[in-house]
Every structure is written in C-alpha cells, then in structure tokens.
Structure 1
Amino acid sequence: MPSIDIRHAHSLPHAQARKAVQEVADKLADRFGVACDWDGDTLKFARSGVDGKIDLAPKSLRVTANLGFLMAAFKGPIEAEIRRVLDERFS
C-alpha cells in the first residue's frame, strides 16, 4: 500500500504548533474531504482510501498516511500539498 511519511521541524510554542496543525488539517479537509479528530497531540484523519495522522512533538511533527488503491494515483499531489501547507504554516 503506497504511503506518505513526512517529517517537518518547527520552532513554534506548543499552542501555536497545535493551531498550525489544525490549519493543515482544515486544508486537507477542504481539498481532499478528510475527517479529522485529535487524540492527545496526534491528529488523526481519514476518508475512503486514506487514513493517517499528524504527530505533534515539541520541535517537530510527522505526517504519516496510508493510501488505498484509487488514492495511490494521487500520492504525488497529496504529498506536495501537505509539504506546501507545512512550509506555509511552520516556516
């Protein structure tokens, strides 16, 4: 199963980092129709063909996602959009 694994450093205070992760999730929801829920400092997201999470740590975050057969064709655009939004929110 094709997957996405992105690590991104940040220097934001926890509350700002969490808000930025939520903004990333909102972008994913708008663009790809994913549903999102927080579990501690992990934001889980899912929709048909995609399931993943964003783990928030003090100096970094990690986005992991598993893509189903049909969504695998969109791995490049999905990964590019995640990286773009992370750069925008955390740089």
Structure 2
Amino acid sequence: MARIDIQRDHHLEAAQARAVVDKVAARLGEKFGTTSRWEGDTLRFERSGVKGGITLEPALVRVQAELGMLLSPMKGMIEQEIRQKLDQYFA
C-alpha cells in the first residue's frame, strides 16, 4: 500500500477553510470517484482502493490517504493533483 501525507499552512477562517476543503473533495470525487463525509474537523473520503482524510486545524490543513495495490502506481499523479489544489486554494 502506498501512503500520501501532505500538509499546508493556511490563514483562513474555519468556515472558509472548510469551504475550500469541500471544493478540493468535490474535485477528487469528480476525478477519482471518491465519496466523502465530515467527521468533526476531518473530511473522510474513500472509494474502492483508497481511503483517507483531510484534517483542518487552525493554521494547518493535512491530507492523508492510503492507496490500494491497484492505485499505488498512480501515487505520483494523485499527490500532484492534491498539491495543486491545496496550493490553488490555500496559497
């Protein structure tokens, strides 16, 4: 299994940061077919072969995911997509 762990600082208010995470999750859903739900300050996402979460802290956003064997070869592409969206929305 491949693991992804990406962190970014942010300076957004809690409601703004949550709205941004919703946008990122929607994009992941469109591109990779994930479903998502909020559990406290963590948006959990999953689909066959991947599960993870996007956790919001007051000045930090963290994306963690575990990729199954079929998606492990796509780790670089998936990480790149996540980094681009985090940079776009949290920069």
TM-score range, shorter chain: over 0.9
TM-score (norm 2): 0.98
Aligned residue identity for 1:11: H
SS in 2 for 1:54: strand
How many residue pairs were aligned? 91
TM-score (norm 1): 0.98
Task: Kindly state the Cα deviation for residue 10 of structure 1 after the two structures are TM-superposed.
Answer: 0.3
Distance 1:33 1:62 in 2: 20
Distance 1:72 1:37 in 2: 23
SS in 2 for 1:84: helix
What is the aligned-residue RMSD (CA, Å)? 0.4
Distance 1:22 1:9 in 2: 17
User: Which ranges in structure 2 are unaligned for 5 or more consecutive residues?
Assistant: none
Which residue of structure 2 aligns with residue 80 of structure 1? 80
Task: Kindly state the Cα deviation for residue 22 of structure 1 after the two structures are TM-superposed.
Answer: 0.5
Query: Structure 1: which 4+ aligned runs deviate by more than 6 Å?
Result: none
SS in 2 for 1:12: coil
